[in-house]
Amino acid sequence: MGASRESHTATLLDFGSQLTNGKVLVTGGVDSNKQVLSSAELFDPANGTFTPTKGSMNAARAFHTATLLNDGTVLVTGGLDGNTELATAEIFDPESGTFTPTKGAMESPQAHHVATLLKDGTVLITGESYSVANLGTSELFDPASGMFTPTKGSMSTARPSHAATLLDHGAAITNGQVLLTGGETATAELFDPVSGSFTSTGTMESKRSNHTATLLNDGTVLVTGGDGVTRNPTGAVSAKAELFNPTSGIFTPTNGNLTTPRANHTATLLDDGTVVLAGGWDLIDFSVFNRSGTVNYLATAEVFDPASGLFALTVEMTTPRVFHTATLLKDGRVLMTGGADSSGAPLATAELFQ
């Protein structure tokens, strides 16, 4: 890449101009000088190269979100600029290669939050903000107006470093709802876009933060790894995984555990219906705030097979990565970008899994 990056975003541009269709937009993050970046670049799968976008973001951002909208543009929200949480948002236009601020700012500053594209084209922001007392708030972005508005209801509990998954098939009663899991808790809840409210659902077998939640082809959700308490300087990483059934609203353990405990890893649904988990760390004794302590950074990867419910090791990445990204390309390969290596230094390298 043109810059070393960790805690950045990578978004597949899967429709729109033939010039950008299939490329991956990489934005922001923290570089090797510990500077938060406003730069962005595009990966071209055809030639395997990265090129800078014509314009940079209007703000430097790390721990932000980037969401592909239905018109082919990308919504970038919040993040950290140094120690400052941002309420600003902007839109990337693949046609012009430039970023423009949204008409309105977010209701509150957010970082380490989650953005989920809903079936009606709006975007649900479920937040984590250390500067705002109520972490159970959430909001919606309407691309038609360019404005953010609070949801009618709030989350039942604060969820730092949680996961959010759109249920876009499966049980008719939950189709189109969003499953929120964990965030220093074992609880989960569902957001209903029709009513704008949150309701509790089944409970996971253990607390999870910095985990993944992946929608499978049968409509269930695979929840993997994570650590229990992200704000505590110490914490154990989980090797456990479970499946959420939208019809019953219940979580059940998978037939087997992960081959190794993982947190801050990636999980990508492949074209054959399996899921590849890559990188992350096995936390031993670590301070989240100053990133110091004893950590085992992982280069290993494994694949979950929904047919058997088991995990199996696959080829390793070329380097350990945490706070990296994984993006499924149109040709079925997975692009891994940046992240921090075993020394904690941000990486400019990228690699492909196939």
Interior angle at CA 162, CA 31 and CA 231, nearest 5: 70
Instruction: Look at residue 286 and tell me whether its pLDDT is greater than 90.
Output: no
Q: Once rounded to an integer, what is the mean pLDDT over residues 48-59? A: 97
In a domain, residue 121? The reply is no
Give SS3 for 118.
Answer: coil
Tell me the CATH number at 228.
2.120.10.80
Compute the distance between CA of residue 58 and CA of residue 273 in angstroms, rounded to an integer. Answer: 38
Helix (H) or strand (E) holding 38: none
Residue 197 in contact with residue 189, Cβ under 8 Å? Answer: no
Locate tokens 């100053």: which residue? 290
Which pLDDT score, from 0 to 100, does residue 233 have? 41
In a domain, residue 268? The reply is yes
At 168, the pLDDT band (50, 70, 90 cuts) reads confident
Compute the distance between CA of residue 161 and CA of residue 184 in angstroms, rounded to an integer. Answer: 8
- pTM value? 0.94
Give residue 178's identity as a one-letter amino acid code: V
In a domain, residue 21? The reply is no
Locate tokens 């990578």: which residue? 10
pLDDT digits (tens, 9 = 90+) for 77-106: 999 998 899 999 999 999 999 999 999 999
In a domain, residue 22? The reply is no
Which pLDDT score, from 0 to 100, does residue 231 have? 47
Which pLDDT score, from 0 to 100, does residue 129 have? 65
Work out whether the CA dihedral 67, 303, 238, 291 comes out positive or negative.
negative
Compute the distance between CA of residue 127 and CA of residue 108 in angstroms, rounded to an integer. Answer: 9
Instruction: Look at residue 292 and tell me whether its pLDDT is greater than 60.
Output: no
Segments forming the whole domain that contains residue 209: 152-316
Compute the distance between CA of residue 284 and CA of residue 287 in angstroms, rounded to an integer. Answer: 10
In a domain, residue 230? The reply is yes
Compute the distance between CA of residue 135 and CA of residue 120 in angstroms, rounded to an integer. Answer: 25
Which residues, in sequence order, are bridge partners of residue 97? none
First-to-last alpha carbon distance for the chain, in angstroms, is: 20
Compute the distance between CA of residue 314 and CA of residue 106 in angstroms, rounded to an integer. Answer: 41
Instruction: Look at residue 121 and tell me whether its pLDDT is greater than 90.
Output: yes
In a domain, residue 100? The reply is no
pLDDT digits (tens, 9 = 90+) for 171-229: 677 889 999 999 989 999 999 999 999 999 999 998 999 999 999 999 999 999 998 65
**Percent of the residues in the chain that have a pLDDT greater than 90, as a whole number:** 80
Compute the distance between CA of residue 219 and CA of residue 202 in angstroms, rounded to an integer. Answer: 16
61 backbone dihedrals φ, ψ, rounded to 5°: -145, 140
Work out whether the CA dihedral 118, 157, 243, 12 comes out positive or negative.
positive
Residue 139 in contact with residue 149, Cβ under 8 Å? Answer: yes
In a domain, residue 300? The reply is yes
Which pLDDT score, from 0 to 100, does residue 341 have? 94
Which pLDDT score, from 0 to 100, does residue 268 have? 98
At 255, the pLDDT band (50, 70, 90 cuts) reads very high
Interior angle at CA 142, CA 136 and CA 147, nearest 5: 80
Residue 271 in contact with residue 259, Cβ under 8 Å? Answer: no
Which pLDDT score, from 0 to 100, does residue 15 have? 72
pLDDT digits (tens, 9 = 90+) for 128-140: 765 555 467 799 9
Q: Once rounded to an integer, what is the mean pLDDT over residues 249-264? A: 96
Number of domains in the chain: 1
In a domain, residue 86? The reply is no
Compute the distance between CA of residue 80 and CA of residue 263 in angstroms, rounded to an integer. Answer: 21
Alpha helices in 210-303 (DSSP H): none
Which pLDDT score, from 0 to 100, does residue 103 have? 98
